[in-house]
Amino acid sequence: MAACAASARGLATHKKPQQVVIAGGGVIGCATAYFLAKEHGIGPTIVDRKSIAAAASGNAGGFLARDWNDGSPTQEMTHRSFDLHATLAEDLKKYGATDYRRLTCVAVGVDGRTAVQKPGGKKLENVDWADSAGVMGMRPMGDESTIAQVHPRKLCDAFVAAAKDLAGASVVEGCASGLREEDGRVTGLELSDGTCIEADAVVLCMGPWSHALGRPKTEKLGLRGDSDYSGWGLQNCPLVVGTKYHAVLLQAPRVLSQSVFFQGLGDPEVYPRPDGEVYVTGSPDPADIVRDLPGETEVRDEVCDQLVAKMNVLSSELKDAPINHKQACHLPSAVDGVPVVGELRSGAYVGYGHGCWGILLAPATGEALANQIATGESPFLDLGRFDPRRF
Ligand SMILES: Cc1cc2nc3c(=O)[nH]c(=O)nc-3n(C[C@H](O)[C@H](O)[C@H](O)COP(=O)(O)OP(=O)(O)OC[C@H]3O[C@@H](n4cnc5c(N)ncnc54)[C@H](O)[C@@H]3O)c2cc1C
């Protein structure tokens, strides 16, 4: 009862912001902009120091699974988000997000040594593009009712195009460097060039760089070639680490439609796309503070070559397939592995730390943040478990 009264008091005092600035144009920032525009008529300014989807959000696989997070803190967020993706597939088609599809997924256990010694030949039962050499077993991981995929970069671009169209959102290039606060309330986002964008609500969605704004003045992060992140202002913003992954995009001779998580040979994950590209990732580096600047993560050729060599062993159909792209990026994780989403202090909101599921969880996160910013509450998703003040 007391909690209800407090919540009602909170709602009564919540004022819908007029100007919202989002720092970070990854999938979380873009989704938040979209829901602010669509549900609340707010056209936010997105500030990114590189460009929209410059980091993980433009380089991810785009694989979505409805029930793999069951029993975890993100179960409800996952269900809500998976379902929202299906709605978005229709709503965002006219803005260029045309690649949503349902598909099947299996896990395949492989004895690497046998596979290497006897490559090629017989096809694996139920996966029409993989070979059977070295396969020790396989397990269905989902079908069209629980597995789907999107093209992450196209999704981000479509979120932004829709937010511009629906409520006049804008995108500016700039490096967020601090919050301007007056009388205990946020009044703007400061940029490293000394300017400030006025706002009555600021959202920090800077992926593995998000906590840089929250570190005490004295703690230098020492980002490579950069002194902008010396840190000030917003203390107690929880730490986030990044896990660097490489990926290669191969061009298959036809459209494939089964995702496979191999176990063995470095556990490559393979996500074929409806345009005939096949996304292959695996063999992560250890998690660490990210010191690369967004969009400038070094790509180590030897790691990409290993991913290609594994596919040559696992699939005679993909053997020697043209390599369209080699890339690397960081997936952001909070220190307790649970996304950090919600109000940090009056007028300051955060959304980051979604680990390997940021593309999947972006719609529910963006919807919840937009609702909280505009109305003071999140009716479709309890944000309690994700509270940034939990640390
Ligand atoms: C190899 C790989 C494959 C993945 N595959 C999948 C998948 O299949 N399915 C899935 O659900 N998830 C997947 N993920 C996870 C997903 O990509 C991430 O969780 C998600 O993209 C994180 O989004 P974000 O918006 O939090 O951060 P980011 O994408 O990192 O975006 C952060 C943005 O903030 C900007 N920025 C940083 N500092 C500043 C600053 N000071 N001022 C202004 N802007 C700044 C950056 O330029 C960047 O654009 C994958 C991740 C990786 C690495």
Rounded to the nearest angstrom, the distance between the alpha carbon of 136 and the centre of ligand 1 is 34
Q: What is the pLDDT of residue 268?
A: 95
Q: Which residue range is the domain that position 164 belongs to?
A: 16-97+151-237+337-390
Q: Which pair of tokens denotes residue 1?
A: 């009862």
In a domain, 10, yes or no: no
328 and 255 share a domain?
Answer: yes
18 DSSP 8-state letter: S
What is the 55 CA–ligand 1 centroid distance (Å)? Answer: 5
Q: Mean pLDDT for the chain? A: 88
Residue 282, ligand 1, Cβ within 6 A: no
How many domains is the chain partitioned into structurally?
Answer: 2
Q: Is residue 194 part of a domain?
A: yes
222 shares a domain with 184: yes
- The CB of 206 under 6 Å from ligand 1? The reply is yes
Cβ of 30 closer than 6 Å to ligand 1, yes or no, is: no
pLDDT tops 60 at residue 7: no
Q: Is residue 6 part of a domain?
A: no
Cβ of residue 304 lying under 6 Å from some atom of ligand 1: no
Residues 159 and 253 grouped into a single domain: no
CATH of the domain at 303: 3.30.9.10
Characterize the bridge pairing of strands 123-124 and 269-272.
unpaired
If pLDDT is split at 50, 70 and 90, which confidence band does 234 have? very low
83 domain-assigned: yes
Same structural domain for residues 57 and 162? yes
CATH number at residue 194: 3.50.50.60
In what helix (H) or strand (E) does residue 325 lie, and over which residues does it extend?
Answer: strand 323-334
Q: What does the pLDDT look like over 332-383, one tens digit per residue?
A: 998 889 999 999 888 999 999 999 999 999 999 999 999 999 999 999 999 9
357 Cα nearest atom in ligand 1: 11
Q: Quick check: is 222 in a domain?
A: yes
Among protein residues, the one with the nearest Cα to ligand 1's atom 22 is 358
5 belongs to a structural domain: no
| Same domain assignment for residues 208 and 327 | no
What pLDDT is attached to residue 118?
Answer: 64
Same domain flag for 83 and 184: yes
User: Same structural domain for residues 125 and 221?
Assistant: no
Answer whether 57 contacts ligand 1 (Cβ < 6 A): yes
Contacts 24+ apart (CB under 8 A), 94-97: 95/157, 95/158, 95/159, 95/161, 95/162, 95/165, 96/154, 96/157, 96/158, 96/161, 97/150, 97/151, 97/154, 97/155, 97/157, 97/158
The pairing of beta strand 277-282 with beta strand 176-182: unpaired
What's at 374, amino acid-wise? A
pLDDT at 237: 52
Q: Name beta bridge partners: 249.
A: 279, 325
Structure tokens at 380: 């479709």
What stretches of 184-236 show up as alpha helix (H) in DSSP?
none
* Contacts of residue 121, Cβ cutoff 8 Å, sequence gap at least 6: 131, 132, 133, 316
Residue 297 sits in the same domain as residue 211? no
Is residue 7 within 8 A of residue 372, CB to CB? The reply is no
Q: Indicate the residue among 333, 359, 374 that finishes a domain.
A: 333
Angstrom distances, CA of residue 5 to CA of 133, 150, 157, 383: 64, 42, 41, 18
71-96 confidence digits (pLDDT tens): 999 999 999 999 999 999 999 999 99
Tell me what the mean pLDDT of segment 94-100 comes to. Answer: 97
Instruction: Pick the last residue of a domain from 298, 317, 333.
Output: 333
Atom 12 (ligand 1) nearest CA: 357
218-247: average pLDDT: 56
Name the token pair of 277.
Answer: 């590209």
Q: How many other β-carbons are positioned within 10 Å of the β-carbon of residue 360?
A: 28
For residue 24, report the distance from its CA to the centre of ligand 1, in Å: 9
Residue for token digits 């709503």?
Answer: 91
**Residue 1 neighbours by CB under 8 Å, 6+ apart:** none
**Residue closest to 251 by CA, chosen among 327, 318, 328:** 318
Burial per residue of 172-193, b for 16 or more beta-carbon CB atoms within 10 angstroms, e otherwise:
eebbbbbbbbeeeebbbbbbbe
- Say whether both 40 and 110 belong to one domain: no
Does residue 159 fall inside a structural domain?
Answer: yes
Residue 54 shares a structural domain with residue 194: yes
Please give the sequence-ordered ranges of beta strands (E in DSSP) within 143-273, or none if there are none: 147-149, 170-173, 176-182, 185-191, 196-198, 201-204, 240-251, 258-263, 269-272
So what's the pLDDT on residue 290? 84
Query: Based on the domain organization, do 230 and 168 belong to the same domain?
Result: yes
In a domain, 3, yes or no: no
Q: Judge if 290 and 160 occupy the same domain.
A: no
